[in-house]
């Protein structure tokens, strides 16, 4: 939920996460890292997909280019999460590092961070429509990920509404 993914073997997990996006992921209400999927061709390409609500503070201060590293303003304080605020859902793809001498990615234990590719939610849409799922409250944001039998990646987005609102 907080933006960290660990490798686990049986009942034990590594002490350090495989990937850590905790500075970027919102933990307001029921938001967070809600979708995770391995590519159907994972053994051959090493791709993993993460779907999450972007922390509003991060969204306001950091640029997430379609590919490559996130760039934040010098005044941005990593780890200082917003307690409220509208944001977007973001879908990213990373490639793991194929172990030396390995034929495929099945034994991979590290992420190639420069391989980052934003597939949905690159910008908050200032001056236009946002490019990700709109999230205006503490629930109903990004959801799960699933692959169709043809390899299409499906990403579930909530309606961005309040979970506690009443209709009169």
The tens digit of pLDDT for each residue in 16-72 reads 899 999 999 998 888 889 999 999 999 999 999 999 999 999 988 888 888 888 888
Q: How confident is the model at residue 165 (pLDDT cuts 50, 70, 90)?
A: low
- Give whichever of 25-34, 41-50, 116-125, 154-163 has the largest mean pLDDT: 41-50
Give me the pLDDT at residue 133, please.
82
H or E segment at 57?
Answer: helix 56-61
Q: What is the pLDDT of residue 168?
A: 56
pLDDT band per the 50, 70, 90 thresholds, residue 128: low
The candidate with the shortest Cα–Cα distance to 142, out of 117, 118, 121, 163, is 121
Predicted pLDDT of residue 160: 61
Distance in angstroms (rounded) separating the CA atoms of residues 132 and 32: 15
pLDDT (mean) for 4-19: 83
Q: Is residue 11 very low, low, confident or very high in pLDDT (cuts 50, 70, 90)?
A: confident
Beta bridge partner(s), residue 5 = 19
Tell me what pLDDT residue 7 has. Answer: 87
Q: Identify the pLDDT of residue 48.
A: 97
> Does the structure show a pLDDT above 80 at 149?
yes
d(CA 123, CA 34): 19
Query: Which pTM value belongs to this model?
Result: 0.87
- Token output for 94: 């990373």
> Which pLDDT band holds residue 5 (cuts at 50, 70, 90)?
very high
**Percent of the chain, pLDDT > 90?**
45
């Amino acid at each position: 939920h907080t933006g960290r993914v660990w490798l686990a073997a049986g009942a034990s997990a590594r002490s350090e996460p495989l990937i850590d996006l905790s500075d970027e992921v919102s933990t307001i209400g029921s938001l967070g890292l809600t979708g995770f999927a391995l590519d159907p061709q994972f053994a051959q390409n090493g791709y993993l997909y993460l779907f999450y609500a972007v922390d509003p503070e991060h969204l306001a201060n950091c640029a997430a280019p379609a590919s490559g590293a996130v760039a934040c303003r010098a005044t941005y304080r990593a780890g200082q999460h917003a307690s409220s605020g509208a944001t977007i859902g973001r879908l990213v793809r990373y490639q793991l590092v194929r172990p030396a001498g390995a034929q495929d990615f099945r034994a991979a234990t590290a992420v190639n961070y420069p391989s980052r590719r934003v597939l949905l939610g690159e910008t908050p849409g200032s001056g236009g429509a946002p490019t990700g799922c709109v999230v205006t409250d503490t629930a109903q944001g990004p959801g799960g990920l699933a692959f169709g039998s043809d390899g299409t990646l499906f990403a579930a987005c909530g309606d961005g509404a309040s979970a506690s609102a009443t209709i009169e």
